[in-house]
Amino acid sequence: MTLPRRRLPRVVPPFHDETVASFMRRVAAANHVSDTDLRELLGVRMLKRTPITVLIEPLSIVTGFEESVLCLALPEFGPGPVTNEPGHFGRPLTQRKRSLERPACRRCVHAAGIQGPVNRWTTHEQNVCLRHRLWIGEGCTEADDQVDISVLPSTIKAQRHHRNLIARHGRRWVRDAFSGARTAFIGLVENHSADPFGILTEAQSHLRDVRGKAASPSMTLAILFHPQIVSLTGLLAHVEWIRKTRQSGHIGWLAEQVTRRYVLGGYAPEETDPLVQWVKDHLLHHRFVAAYGYKFYDVFFPEETVRLPPPPRGLAKP
């Protein structure tokens, strides 16, 4: 591969946790070259078939940024899922099936002096931009889809609650619990309400994107019930329900807590409920891990972010 000799005239700084494809698109647009011409300049023909690390050096030359700067800004250039290199701990992992790629908050992008859209790697709890009170989570496929939720302070508060849950229980368990809680709660609302979409008309009149278009029904449900979903996440991420369920052989205690904490009033568990199915799968995974080894935790409950390596064993204390 022939390396480029000099950088392009327009300097385009990378956005935090931006995808490589998004960064390259902005570099090409700012310098008035096509994506194909930029790939040729980088010495890359087929972007999807090229190892991502091959792009670090030529991209550093054409953008004028040090390789270390690009590695810190673009997670795909990061050292891997386990590292003790400064600046990488807690960043989103990109080479996973469950990795999330979403548009960055359009107001954060504008505040950074960037005119076009930016796609970035994100984690499951980043559903609300607290600084600008925009919904940036489920349902946002482009920046213009993001909805102002200033009229829903409970949804904004739930975002802070979600972060606290991660600090309390650990990201691995909260991520799995949130996925189950979201699927289970929306399923319960649709199954146990006579008209689950009766509230959407009023809500959609207030939840509109930058184009004035009303949010989709699925996004509206995710926004409106985000506080309840996060509350259910806190229940499912706690080990207490596992202990109670094993002792009693049923999820009566969990169902009682779902009602008591106003997650879903009058909830009565049934075998076909998505929450019951999630509980069964979760307990089955734990039994499998207990029988065959803790290494299978990474299969059922994969890491979402870069983590620090375990401390070396056998070292004498100073």
Domain ranges of the chain: 1-93, 151-279
Residue 132 tokens read as: 């600008």
- Please list the residues that pair with 195 across neighbouring strands: none
Sheet strands side by side (includes 134-135): 128-129, 134-135, 147-148
Q: Which helix (H) or strand (E) holds 158?
A: helix 153-169
Q: For 197, how many CA atoms within 13 A lie in the half-sphere containing its CB? A: 6
Contact 135, 102 (CB under 8 A): no
* Ranges of H-type helices in 5-103: 20-30, 35-42, 56-63, 67-73
pLDDT higher than threshold 80 for residue 60? yes
* Ranges of H-type helices in 170-263: 171-192, 200-204, 217-224, 226-237, 240-248, 252-260
Q: What is the pLDDT of residue 92?
A: 92
* Proportion of the chain in helix, strand, coil states, percent, rounded to 5: 50, 5, 45
Contact 172, 301 (CB under 8 A): yes
Contact 268, 255 (CB under 8 A): yes
Q: What is the pLDDT of residue 46?
A: 64
Contact 263, 232 (CB under 8 A): yes
Reference 146, options 158, 159, 132; nearest CA is: 132
Residue 71 tokens read as: 């590695």
Q: What percent of the chain has pLDDT over 70?
A: 92
Reference 222, options 247, 194, 191, 189; nearest CA is: 189
For the stretch 94-124, pLDDT in tens is 987 788 999 999 999 999 999 889 999 999 9
Q: What is the pLDDT of residue 136?
A: 96
- Please list the residues that pair with 129 across neighbouring strands: 134
Q: Is 140 helix (H, G, I), strand (E, B) or coil?
A: coil
> Mean of the pLDDT values across residues 246-267?
76
> Mean of the pLDDT values across residues 50-61?
88
Reference 59, options 31, 79, 84; nearest CA is: 31
For the stretch 160-219, pLDDT in tens is 999 999 999 999 999 999 999 999 888 877 766 555 556 777 787 888 888 888 888 889
pLDDT higher than threshold 60 for residue 262? yes
* Rg, the chain, Cα only: 23
> pTM of the prediction?
0.87
Residue 317 tokens read as: 């204390």
Environment class of 242 (CB within 10 Å of its CB; exposed 0-12, middle 13-18, buried 19+) = middle
